[in-house]
Structure 1
């Protein structure tokens, strides 16, 4: 059995600065990617702004150049056609792209979404990885603000990956900027004192309730309006919890979170960065797959090496799948 490894990695402001400190961190990012052993890599936060001077290269050209630099540094391919990077240029300075090992061939299906569709951007490309048919691979970066917009964006991602019925099976890696709503089965148990029934529970715990890293009750702060729902009782006390509605769109629509599909050991992907994270440790980076790929999944991991912890504020996510286990067509 030959497996394919797909990775998703938010690079943290890749290419924003040319200072010695930033350049050293980019080198760590390159080393992390080289160490992943990934066949296909979805990346987020390739940075490029429109230049201040008129007549200079535009944002798309600058972003393409930075994706090319990333590809060269990691030994990966990045052009879906000659001179055409597999890059989605976002509304702002944050862009997403796809990289793949030499020997894997693009097979069409290149599409990008930004503008009114997506706050940052979304890119898809069909790749020949040795399956019975080309498989769609995608990279996505969700909005950090706007809980309702985020849910709308997830509908766009869902439609891109699951419609029409004759579209290729696929995988998409992203910084989803929200907590998953995928469930896992929790068997019941019987003790001397009580019986707990079988039930389905969220794979991800709620990161915004309970205790913080110092084992103290979590406190409310204003930035939580971007990530939670809340209510007040009649004496003005506030209660809050994770907003999972964007994730519900993906779960109900059938775009499965690999970590939950395999019920893999839970690991955070953010919250470790030295400058601190007001939202705490949580898992917002994930790979999602269409239903045809679920039975082909073989492994899932979050890379939390010392190098990865110092390279970006996000940790890479790895998914191994067997392309031979994906059906040539719907039964």
Structure 2
């Protein structure tokens, strides 16, 4: 079992990171990173700089990223490959002896996602799996990694936006089932995702994630910036409840990190400060397991 975070999680422009001296995991919605037909080199460079700042030399690091170019497999792989090259990380896994990027195109909206890791981490052959579109609005990608002699399953996921809010509960069930099946009953899982909804976890009887509308409009209602003012939607914590029931812990809550938003940083963010980007993990079984 990998060492668990001993200190608070830290936030860096939308990248939530769980760090110890021995292991780091981050999740980062890149917001249209090098998306086909768009160009914003200054912002892309800043995204790459943020990731470089997260990586500590000599510390095994794994990252889950969302909103890569996702028109097709080629564009997703190219986008992740460019990000890996710009940040000094790696993204190539072996399947049937062939090297391929741990990237997957999106279902709706052509938004891909992927996984990155540092030189101290080795991908385990023939463990790269994914779901693109179909039952998922966006996608899910997972791969097993050797981190200092410990085997973990790492995954990146992007939940539906407001247009697909009614699908989030079903998707959470599928994601939990898929990851548990992939890792086995005793396998350790680290999942970084843009959930597009708040956590269900509580501390001292209160939700760790306050209702978004308590910071934006009225209590117990969630308004999206591009809806008409009179339209509101009930905050739904069911997707995270499903993940909790499946044994996934919220890293920030588990280790008492001060609440911090992962949205609201950009000039065009109309939804206000929310913690919708989260790291969930399922601990390994008590009996230690080596790397196959």
TM-score category of the 2 structures, normalised to the smaller one = 0.7 to 0.9
Judge conservation of contact 2:169–2:238 (CA < 8 Å) in 1.
yes
The structure-2 alpha-carbon separation of the partners of 1:219 and 1:34, relative to structure 1 and needing over 3 Å to count, comes to same
The TM-score normalised by the length of structure 1 is 0.70
The TM-score normalised by the length of structure 2 is 0.79
Judge conservation of contact 1:141–1:174 (CA < 8 Å) in 2.
yes
Distance 2:191 2:199 in 1: 14
1:276 counterpart = 2:269: yes
Which residue of the other structure, out of 24, 29, 36, is the alignment partner of 2:54? 36
CA deviation string 1:124-161 (max 9, x = no partner): 01000014x41001111111033331111111111122
Deviation at 1:115, TM superposition (A): 2.5
Aligned length: 257
Distance 2:281 2:220 in 1: 35
Judge conservation of contact 2:145–2:154 (CA < 8 Å) in 1.
yes
- 5+ residue gaps in structure 1? 50-58, 187-199, 227-236, 294-325
Distance 1:250 1:225 in 2: 28
For the residue of structure 2 that corresponds to 1:14, the secondary structure is coil
Distance 2:237 2:68 in 1: 27
Deviation at 1:290, TM superposition (A): 0.6
Q: Which residue does 2:258 correspond to in 1?
A: 265
- 5+ residue gaps in structure 2? 4-20
Which residue of the other structure, out of 105, 110, 113, is the alignment partner of 1:89? 105
Q: Which residue does 1:129 correspond to in 2?
A: 147
Deviation at 1:175, TM superposition (A): 0.4
Q: Which residue does 2:75 correspond to in 1?
A: 62
Judge conservation of contact 1:255–1:289 (CA < 8 Å) in 2.
yes
Q: Which residue does 2:173 correspond to in 1?
A: 155
For the pair shown, the structure with the greater C-alpha radius of gyration is 1
Which residue of the other structure, out of 17, 20, 26, is the alignment partner of 1:7? 26
Deviation at 1:258, TM superposition (A): 0.6
Which residue of the other structure, out of 245, 251, 266, is the alignment partner of 1:252? 245
Q: How does 1:198-277 map to 2 (within 5 A)?
A: 200-208=205-213, 210-212=214-216, 223=224, 241-277=234-270
The Cα RMSD (Å) is 2.9
Instruction: Between 10-19 and 170-179, report the one with greater CA deviation.
Output: 10-19
